[in-house]
Homo-oligomer: A and B are copies of this chain.
Amino acid sequence: MHQSLILAAGLLLAGNAWAMRSGNEPIQPIEPATVSDAAKVELGKQLFFDPRLSKSGVISCNSCHNLSMGGSDNLPTSVGHNWQQGPINSPTVLNSSMNVAQFWDGRAKDLQEQAGGPIANPKEMGFSHEQAVAVVASIPQYREAFRKVYKNDTITVAAITDAIAAFEKTLVTPNSRFDRWLKGDQQALSPTELDGYRLFKDTGCTACHNGPAVGGNSFQKMGQVAPYKTDNPAEGVAGLTGKDVDRFKFKVPTLRNVELTYPYFHDGAYWKLEEAVDVMARLQLGRQLRPDEIGKITAFLKTLTGEQPSFPLPILPPSSNDTSRPQPFN
């Protein structure tokens, strides 16, 4: 009884500490996903892993947003249909539901809209929405699943991308060491990592990298203080608006799981997290960090690696005799 009281008091204190800290800290913990429609999520998971949404029958959503590899492909730019080189780094799908918009330039308003892009992009999956719908509709088990989830006998690209988005919304990574610290576990971070977090704030990184996703919620110019040198021709938001003020404005990427999502920046030009920290501090904030400071911030950033989504590898329903055949070589 005595011990329980002490424990209860301790929990109360921890709870208060968290409440206080949450109020003060620029980063908030990620909460686990809540699934309201398990059948839709399961369908979306199958579609996310299904290479039959591509012309070749080889490329799935998971090819470039590989959930074994931090939801990314760990390449500067992706390999698309016919081995074409993608124009920009594939961002992680993890925690992407928290992004203010999708793609580096924000041209898709949400995950559903995003999911339709690569399917029909000739440099990515090289298919069309009509062809993807026809393939899915030719597979009896998919027809049954869509009927069950959407109460409709007609499969549409809107339903396909809605299911994929529903699955993607479950791809959150809670319970990182940093989140455990935020919630009051003082032992979750080492002194070096805590120093790194303080430096991260003091240097000004949290001006853009804040919120539950530690980014993803604003567009900023790449090269605020000094220009970013790159061979990549992407213009950012200006590619959509045509406005000079939007040149090199890109969505600030999430730093959740940044340990897993190398190489960095929209051109994927930097492989080492230490280098990325150095570049950001100099070009965005006009700060030249010392190596020990970079080391501490990097140590902090690695505490943002959360629990990776865990689920059985989906088993895809087989094609039927009516399914059109993949065309990898013509």
Q: Is there an interface contact between B313 and A310, defined as CB atoms closer than 8 Å?
A: yes
A79 to B56, CA, bound (A): 9
Q: Mark A291-314, 1 if CB is under 8 A from B, else 0.
A: 000000000000000001111111
1/0 contact string of A53-64 vs chain B (CB within 8 Å): 000111000010
Main SS of the interface on chain A?
Answer: loop
Of the 9-residue stretches A190-198, A244-252, A278-286, A315-323, which lies at the interface with chain B?
A315-323
In the complex, what distance in Å separates the CA atom of A197 from the CA atom of B272?
A: 59
**Is the Cβ of B319 less than 8 Å from the Cβ of A262?**
yes
Which of A9-17, A65-73, A157-165 makes up part of the contact surface? Answer: A65-73
Interface digits, A253-292 against B, CB 8 Å rule (1 contact, 0 not)? 0000001101100000001101000000000000000000
CA distance A79 to B82 in the complex (A): 9
Q: Nearest B residue to A59 by beta-carbon distance? A: B79
Measured between beta carbons, the chain B residues less than 8 angstroms from A56 are 79
Q: How far is the CB of A49 from chain B (nearest CB, A)?
A: 5
Kindly state whether residue A328 has any CB partner on chain B within 8 Å: yes
Contact of A308 among B57, B262, B315 (CB under 8 A): B315
**Chain B residue contacts of A272, Cβ below 8 A:** 321
Q: Report the separation of the CA atoms of residues A39 and B74 in the bound assembly, to the nearest whole angstrom.
A: 26
A310 to B321, CA, bound (A): 26
Q: Does A325 contact B (CB under 8 A)?
A: yes
Give bound CA distance, A220 to B259, whole Å.
51
Which residues does chain B contribute within 8 Å of A58, judged by CB atoms? 63, 73, 75, 79
Residue of B nearest to A329 (CB): B85
Size of A's binding interface in residues, CB under 8 A: 42
In the assembled complex, which residues on chain B have CB atoms less than 8 Å from the CB atom of A312?
Answer: 310-313
List B contacts of A75 (CB < 8 A): 57-58, 326, 328
Q: How far is the CA of A159 from the CA of B51 in the complex (A)?
A: 31
Tell me the minimal C-beta distance from A317 to chain B in angstroms: 9
Q: Assess whether A68 is in contact with B315, with CB atoms less than 8 Å apart.
A: yes
In the bound complex, residues from chain B placing their C-beta under 8 Å from that of A67 are: 313
Q: Are B321 and A271 in contact (CB under 8 A)?
A: yes
* A164 vs chain B, min Cβ distance (A): 15
A308: chain B residues at CB < 8 Å are 315
Whole-angstrom distance between the Cβ of A314 and the nearest chain B Cβ: 6
Residues of B within 8 A of A311 (CB): 312-313
In contact, B74 and A326 (Cβ under 8 angstroms): yes
Which residue in chain B gives the minimum CB-CB distance to A272?
Answer: B321
CB < 8 Å neighbour of A319 from B74, B82, B325, B328: B74
A316-B79 in contact given A57-B74, A321-B271 (Cβ < 8 Å): no
Apart from A58-B73, A68-B315, A271-B325, what 15 extra A-B contacts exist at CB < 8 Å? A49-B68, A51-B69, A57-B73, A58-B79, A68-B313, A69-B316, A70-B318, A82-B83, A83-B83, A85-B328, A271-B321, A310-B312, A310-B313, A310-B315, A312-B312
Query: What would be 23 A-B contacts, judged by CB atoms less than 8 Å apart?
Result: A50-B68, A57-B73, A57-B75, A58-B79, A68-B313, A70-B318, A74-B319, A74-B326, A82-B83, A83-B83, A85-B328, A85-B329, A259-B318, A260-B318, A262-B318, A262-B319, A263-B325, A271-B321, A271-B325, A272-B321, A308-B315, A310-B315, A312-B312
